[in-house]
Chain A
Amino acid sequence: MQCKRRAFRLSKLLTFHKISKGFSGVQALQDVSFSVSGGSVHGLCGENGAGKSTLLKTLSGVHQPDTGYLEIDGKKCQFRSALDALNGGVAVIYQELNLVSEMSIAENVWLGHFSTKGPFVDFKELERKTRESLKQVGLDVDPSTKLGSLSIGQKQMVEIAKALTRNAQVIAFDEPTSSLSAREVETLFGLIHELRGRGLAILYVSHRMDEITSLCDACTVLRDGKHIETFESMKGVDAGMIVNRMVGRELAAAMTDSGRDVGQDLLELRNVTGPGLVDPVSLTVKEGEIVGIFGLIGAGRTELLKAIYLGTAGQVLIGKETVPRKGAVSSIKSGLVLCPEDRKHEAIVPMLGVGENLNISIRRTLAKLGFWIAYGAEKENAVSFVEKLRIKTASLQTPISNLSGGNQQKVILARWLSERIKVVLLDEPTRGIDVGSKAEIYAIVRDLAKKGIGVLFVSSELPEILALSDRVFVMCEGRVVGSMPTKEATESKLLSLALPKGGAA
Chain B
Amino acid sequence: MNVKQFLAQSGMLLVFVVVVIAAYIIAPQFMSKDNMISLGLQVSSIGVVSCTMLFCLAAGDFDLSVGSTFALGGMVGVTIGNSTGSLLFGALGAIATGAVVGLINGVVVAKFKINALITTLATMQIVRGLTNILGHGTPQTAAKPGFDFLGNQAYLSIPLPIWIMILSFIVFGVLLNRTVFGRNTLAIGGNKEAALLAGIQVDRTKIAIFALSGMAAAFSGIVAASRLVVASNNAGEKLELQAISACVLGGVSLSGGIGTMSGTVVGVLIMGIVENVMRLKSIDAFYQLVVTGTILLLAVLFDKVKLKLLKSS
Q: In the bound complex, do residue A367 and residue B194 qualify as a contact, i.e. CB atoms below 8 Å apart?
A: no
Q: Mark A328-362, 1 if CB is under 8 A from B, else 0.
A: 11011000001010100111111110001000110
The answer for the CA separation of A241 and B52 in the assembled complex, in Å, is: 61
Report if B195 contacts A (CB, 8 A). yes
Q: Given that A328-B197, A338-B197, A360-B200 are known contacts, is A349 also in contact with B187, CB under 8 Å in the complex?
A: yes
Sample (11) of A-B pairs whose CB atoms are under 8 Å apart: A331-B199, A340-B197, A349-B186, A350-B191, A351-B258, A352-B190, A361-B198, A361-B199, A361-B200, A371-B180, A372-B179
Report if A364 contacts B (CB, 8 A). yes
Other-chain contact of A352, B181, B187, B311 (Cβ < 8 Å): B187
Q: Given that A329-B201, A332-B199, A363-B183 are known contacts, is A349 also in contact with B178, CB under 8 Å in the complex?
A: no
Report if B18 contacts A (CB, 8 A). no
Other-chain contact of A348, B194, B196, B199, B311 (Cβ < 8 Å): B194
Report if B257 contacts A (CB, 8 A). yes
- Interface size of B as a range: 20 to 34
Known: A360-B200, A364-B180. 6 other contacts (CB 8 A): A24-B311, A345-B194, A351-B258, A360-B187, A360-B198, A373-B183
Q: Mark B170-190, 1 if CB is under 8 A from A, else 0.
A: 000000011111010011001
Interface residues of A (CB under 8 A from B): 24, 309-310, 328-329, 331-332, 338, 340, 342, 345-352, 356, 360-361, 363-364, 367, 370-373, 415
Q: In the bound complex, do residue B198 and residue A328 qualify as a contact, i.e. CB atoms below 8 Å apart?
A: yes
Residues of A within 8 Å of B253, CB to CB, are 351
The answer for the CA separation of A364 and B187 in the assembled complex, in Å, is: 13
Q: Given that A328-B199, A345-B193, A360-B198 are known contacts, is A351 also in contact with B257, CB under 8 Å in the complex?
A: yes
CB distance from B68 to the nearest CB of A (A): 31
Q: Given that A351-B257, A371-B179, A373-B180 are known contacts, is A360 also in contact with B195, CB under 8 Å in the complex?
A: yes
The answer for the CA separation of A360 and B197 in the assembled complex, in Å, is: 11
The answer for the CA separation of A332 and B197 in the assembled complex, in Å, is: 10
Residues of B within 8 Å of A370, CB to CB, are 180
Q: In the bound complex, do residue A347 and residue B197 qualify as a contact, i.e. CB atoms below 8 Å apart?
A: yes
Q: Which of B180, B183, B197, B257 has the most CB of A within 10 A?
A: B197
Residues of B within 8 Å of A356, CB to CB, are 183, 186-187
Considering only residues 205-241 of chain B, those with a C-beta below 8 Å from chain A are: none
Other-chain contact of B180, A309, A310, A345, A363 (Cβ < 8 Å): A363
What residue in chain B is nearest A306 (Cβ atoms)? Answer: B197
Q: In the bound complex, do residue B194 and residue A346 qualify as a contact, i.e. CB atoms below 8 Å apart?
A: yes
Residues of A within 8 Å of B179, CB to CB, are 367, 371-373
Residues of A within 8 Å of B193, CB to CB, are 340, 342, 345-346
